[in-house]
Structure 1
Amino acid sequence: MNNKFMQKFIEIAGHIGSQRHLVAIRDGFVAIMPLVIVGSLATLVNSFPPFGKFNFVEWMNGLFGDGNWQQVGGSIWNGTFAVLGLLIAFSIAYNLAKSYNVDGLSAGLISGAAYIMLVPITGDGGLSMAWLGTQGLFVAIVIALVLTELFRILVNSKMTIKMPEGVPDGVARSFTALIPATFILILVGLFQALMSVFADISIFEFIFNVIQKPLQGLGNTLPAAMVVAFLNHILWFFGLHGTNIIGSVIEPIYLPLIENNLELFQNGMSAFDVPNVVTKPFLDSFVFMGGSGTTIALLIAIFIVVRNERKHPYREVAKLSAPAGLFNINEPVIFGLPIVLNPIMLIPFILVPVTLTVISYVALATGIVPRTVAILPWTTPPILSGYLVTGGSWRGIALQVVNLTVAVLLYIPFVMAGVRALKQRMEG
């Protein structure tokens, strides 16, 4: 651990994890996640597949009329996934501005207004819904970061209106933001005018075709999924929150992929036929069971290996960690066993999730298991999550059981080695 390369790696990863703009992107996506989950569950309910002889959709149609009850879920979709780009433009700008201790609400509103200004107009004069959602995510990120930086510079300059003392804070903040907002929105308007005169496509179409679409195509591959799994766990091994550090990078790539699956599933396509294999629910439900490292399998392996030693330290840690582990909260075992900087656990902690990524990808890509069509709260326990993310299929549960079995078998030899090493230290 004193190796200079390792020290440098930890230092660089720490800087990346605390980089202001990446943190703002991560926190921006985290802030809208409740809306994403609600929109996903609404779609799942609207298109829930038959369970044996019971057909939920037909039953609801019999109660409320064909399609009438589905309007509720459709409205939820319109307020969540359909405007995801707009929500992200506000959320990231708000978080970035707050990190600079400038008015986050004003920054978010300016970013949202600029986003709408750039959205292509339809033939009847409305906003194109195609670009208000996930297809506009990268534009939303760029707008939020660039305009918030400009807003910060202008607010910290003398180009503001200072209100006298005694004026309510809300009024004072609005006047402080007035000149910066005017300047920024004029710039955005000029940019939009120039794009319409000299280019045949909007900034949304340009960025989607040049950046977002290629990245999504790359992200929906097995090698990319394996790299994500590897980086996440190597960072955790060094005590860095791998999920948070790489979250700001993978969210803009994987969220549109699951949104595409969701939309097609909502329109009647089978979960077997939706196009995207690798999504965030793919990783959460089939790889990160019990949390990063599939540590619920590690807990099971510990209970198997030290089943006859009631007061063994490993068993005590496992007993304390198990309740949280069922809901994918695994900090107790990561820092309590520990896994962090534990050379015995390094290999299985990385090997298990990478192996499960390969198994899960093959299972979904070949059609053995339906692909993911729902986003769930990350605390959803395994088995239930496997059933729901695959659109209500028992095959999702079966894949989780297979993955857990493989993970337990891979962990057992290393748990045995850890137990022996601990015994030697205690006897020495």
Structure 2
Amino acid sequence: MFDKISSFLVPIAGKLNNNRYLSVLRDAFMLAFPLTVFGSMVVVLLNLPFLNKFLSDGTISTLSNTFGVAQSATMSIMTVFVVFGIGYYLSKSYNVEAVFGGVVALASFLFLTPFTVETASGEVITGVLSLDRLGAKGMFLGMISAFVAGEIYRKIVQKDIAIKMPAGVPPAVSKSFAALIPAFITLTIFLVIHAVVALVFETNLHDVIYSVLQKPLTGLGSGLIPTLVVVFLIQLLWFFGLHGQIIMNSVMDPIWLSLSLENLEAFKAGEEVPHIISKTFMDTFTVGMGGTGMTLAVVAAILVFVKSKQMKQVAKIGGAPGIFNVNEPIIFGLPIVMNPLILIPWIVSPLVVVIFTYTMMRIGLVPAPTGVVVPWTVPIGFSGYLATNSIMGSLLQIANFFIVFAIWLPFLKVIDRVNLKKEEEEAKAAMANQNTDNVNM
């Protein structure tokens, strides 16, 4: 049965993992990661729940107005970094000058972005950019325009339609002139698209893409059932030795990140956070509990209740990395990969935890994640607090820890008995060999 499933899943997972566009998208999001983490940490510090006990409202407001730029210049314009990253890494994958691919993609996206803002009173201000179009609302249009611009640009470059400079011209100047015609053609195409949409249809692609594509997809991605399907696939892929997190996140990250950005905007405005499922939810309450599969609880269960020397040694090796959510020593050392005795708890425990976490947030017992980016290496307890801005987030992680612990324990005891029997047989065989050697001597 495992061979049949593996023969079906492995080729599909391999194609997804090696897909040029998914790889580019993954790298583009990682380009923005350090910036968004910095912005998130500033947001956390400015919104500590006990801050009002030490500082006056006026002081808090001043601090927020002064240092809030850190969030506005990072997380609020995350689409800008992603668009540049897509253009850069897509061009690089085709061995085309990457920097020019990045700036052309960014300019193409801005061509489609309205430089107007409508106030609450209905007044239209021109010559300004709305932050939401550079953040959550513009994410999908940004990705689409960056890929299209990147493909147009690289095809023109690869057709060698360029201005050639004579030898001896500085490389920076030569590269700029070589990029001139491809950039000119690409930007002209996007300028014409903008003109047609604005003049003929009297709208903009931001609103069209958001209404037709992004809003339905984020609505689907924020649901519990689709999330459970994704978690199931992540666990199943890992069982067959494939990095389920990378494969599935390449597909889901645009949706989850858009949800996180919408949460952050609401949190900063003092409004109710609209989404439970988001990138922060997935990182903090699944990966953030010992790595994929939440195996920190598995390590604890082995150290406390298991007698097998082999399993205890694996747990000792995997304990320290597991605290920081790195669990490859457990996945490959226990092993979890292709181990039928472990398949049930490996798949069931994350699904149960996701359902329990979602329920606790849905009923309001635990706040939903605020949308700040919490690095996935932050240990359990700390990450829960940072993600929800509440100690209840930490307590929920601890409750989830014991849920995983309880689900895994019966299966670990069965594996322990198998390993103990095997270790006893090996010890008896070693003793018999030693006695035989003594007799022969």
**Secondary structure, in 3 states, of the residue corresponding to 2:49?**
coil
Q: Does residue 350 of the first structure (1) align with residue 352 of the second (2)?
A: no
The amino acid across from 1:28 in the alignment is A
For 1:237-316, list aligned pairs within 5 A.
237-269=239-271, 273-288=272-287, 289-306=289-306, 308=307, 312-316=309-313
Q: What is the CA–CA distance in structure 2 between the aligned matches of 1:97 and 1:420, rounded to whole Å?
A: 55
- Which protein has greater RCO, CA pairs closer than 8 Å, 6+ apart? 1
User: Could you report, residue by residue, the CA deviation over 1:206-237 in whole angstroms, capped at 9, with x for unpaired residues?
Assistant: 11101110111111111022112111111111
* 8 Å Cα contact 2:31-2:81 kept in structure 1: no
Corresponding residue number in structure 2 for 1:360? 357
Corresponding residue number in structure 2 for 1:161? 163
Corresponding residue number in structure 1 for 2:439? none
Task: Tell me the TM-score normalized by structure 2.
Answer: 0.90
How far residue 158 of structure 1 moved from its aligned partner, in angstroms, is: 2.5
How far residue 5 of structure 1 moved from its aligned partner, in angstroms, is: 4.4
Corresponding residue number in structure 2 for 1:326? 323
Aligned partner of 2:198 among 186, 196, 199? 196
Q: Does residue 229 of the first structure (1) align with residue 231 of the second (2)?
A: yes
Corresponding residue number in structure 2 for 1:49? 49
Q: What is the CA–CA distance in structure 2 between the aligned matches of 1:326 and 1:204, rounded to whole Å?
A: 42
Q: Indicate how the Cα distance of structure 1 residues 65 and 409 shifts in structure 2: closer, same or farther if over 3 A, else same.
A: closer
Of 273-282 and 349-358, more deviation after overlay is shown by: 273-282
How far residue 151 of structure 1 moved from its aligned partner, in angstroms, is: 1.3
Q: What is the CA–CA distance in structure 1 between the aligned matches of 2:228 and 2:340, rounded to whole Å?
A: 21
How far residue 79 of structure 1 moved from its aligned partner, in angstroms, is: 0.8
Q: Indicate how the Cα distance of structure 1 residues 124 and 417 shifts in structure 2: closer, same or farther if over 3 A, else same.
A: same
Corresponding residue number in structure 1 for 2:121? none
Listed as ranges, the gaps of 5+ residues in structure 1 are 51-55
Q: What is the CA–CA distance in structure 2 between the aligned matches of 1:216 and 1:404, rounded to whole Å?
A: 29
Corresponding residue number in structure 2 for 1:125? 127
Moved over 4 A (4+): none
How far residue 419 of structure 1 moved from its aligned partner, in angstroms, is: 2.0
* 8 Å Cα contact 1:155-1:180 kept in structure 2: yes
* Identity between Structure 1 and Structure 2 (%): 37
Q: What is the CA–CA distance in structure 1 between the aligned matches of 2:400 and 2:185, rounded to whole Å?
A: 55
Q: Indicate how the Cα distance of structure 1 residues 183 and 65 shifts in structure 2: closer, same or farther if over 3 A, else same.
A: same
Corresponding residue number in structure 2 for 1:170? 172
Corresponding residue number in structure 2 for 1:74? 68
* 8 Å Cα contact 1:147-1:184 kept in structure 2: yes
Q: What is the CA–CA distance in structure 1 between the aligned matches of 2:334 and 2:229, rounded to whole Å?
A: 26
Corresponding residue number in structure 2 for 1:385? 383
Corresponding residue number in structure 2 for 1:108? 102
* 8 Å Cα contact 1:46-1:57 kept in structure 2: no
Q: What is the CA–CA distance in structure 1 between the aligned matches of 2:354 and 2:252, rounded to whole Å?
A: 16
Corresponding residue number in structure 1 for 2:90? 96
Q: Indicate how the Cα distance of structure 1 residues 366 and 106 shifts in structure 2: closer, same or farther if over 3 A, else same.
A: same
How far residue 66 of structure 1 moved from its aligned partner, in angstroms, is: 4.9
Q: What is the CA–CA distance in structure 1 between the aligned matches of 2:154 and 2:298, rounded to whole Å?
A: 47
* 8 Å Cα contact 1:60-1:69 kept in structure 2: no
Q: What is the CA–CA distance in structure 1 between the aligned matches of 2:364 and 2:2, rounded to whole Å?
A: 47
Q: What is the CA–CA distance in structure 2 between the aligned matches of 1:57 and 1:181, rounded to whole Å?
A: 52
* 8 Å Cα contact 1:86-1:116 kept in structure 2: no
Q: What is the CA–CA distance in structure 1 between the aligned matches of 2:232 and 2:32, rounded to whole Å?
A: 26
Q: Does residue 340 of the first structure (1) align with residue 337 of the second (2)?
A: yes
For 1:53-68, list aligned pairs within 5 A.
56-57=51-52, 59-61=54-56, 65-68=59-62
The amino acid across from 1:93 in the alignment is G
Q: What is the CA–CA distance in structure 1 between the aligned matches of 2:68 and 2:202, rounded to whole Å?
A: 33
Corresponding residue number in structure 1 for 2:438? none
**Secondary structure, in 3 states, of the residue corresponding to 2:341?**
helix
Q: What is the CA–CA distance in structure 2 between the aligned matches of 1:315 and 1:5, rounded to whole Å?
A: 31
Matched residue count: 415
Of 1-10 and 239-248, more deviation after overlay is shown by: 1-10
Q: What is the CA–CA distance in structure 1 between the aligned matches of 2:257 and 2:211, rounded to whole Å?
A: 17
Q: Indicate how the Cα distance of structure 1 residues 2 and 375 shifts in structure 2: closer, same or farther if over 3 A, else same.
A: closer
Corresponding residue number in structure 2 for 1:53? none
Q: Indicate how the Cα distance of structure 1 residues 224 and 5 shifts in structure 2: closer, same or farther if over 3 A, else same.
A: closer
Corresponding residue number in structure 2 for 1:376? 374
Q: Indicate how the Cα distance of structure 1 residues 418 and 185 shifts in structure 2: closer, same or farther if over 3 A, else same.
A: same
Q: What is the CA–CA distance in structure 2 between the aligned matches of 1:402 and 1:66, rounded to whole Å?
A: 33
Q: Indicate how the Cα distance of structure 1 residues 323 and 66 shifts in structure 2: closer, same or farther if over 3 A, else same.
A: closer
Listed as ranges, the gaps of 5+ residues in structure 2 are 117-124, 427-441
Q: What is the CA–CA distance in structure 2 between the aligned matches of 1:58 and 1:70, rounded to whole Å?
A: 16
Q: What is the CA–CA distance in structure 2 between the aligned matches of 1:281 and 1:129, rounded to whole Å?
A: 21
The amino acid across from 1:361 in the alignment is Y
How far residue 303 of structure 1 moved from its aligned partner, in angstroms, is: 1.1
* 8 Å Cα contact 1:196-1:202 kept in structure 2: yes
Q: What is the CA–CA distance in structure 1 between the aligned matches of 2:201 and 2:327, rounded to whole Å?
A: 51
Corresponding residue number in structure 1 for 2:21? 21
How far residue 4 of structure 1 moved from its aligned partner, in angstroms, is: 4.1
Q: Indicate how the Cα distance of structure 1 residues 409 and 199 shifts in structure 2: closer, same or farther if over 3 A, else same.
A: same
The amino acid across from 2:379 in the alignment is P
* 8 Å Cα contact 1:36-1:80 kept in structure 2: yes
User: Could you report, residue by residue, the CA deviation over 1:260-305 in whole angstroms, capped at 9, with x for unpaired residues?
Assistant: 2222222223xxx322111122122222211100010111111122
Q: What is the CA–CA distance in structure 1 between the aligned matches of 2:26 and 2:163, rounded to whole Å?
A: 32
Q: What is the CA–CA distance in structure 1 between the aligned matches of 2:421 and 2:281, rounded to whole Å?
A: 40
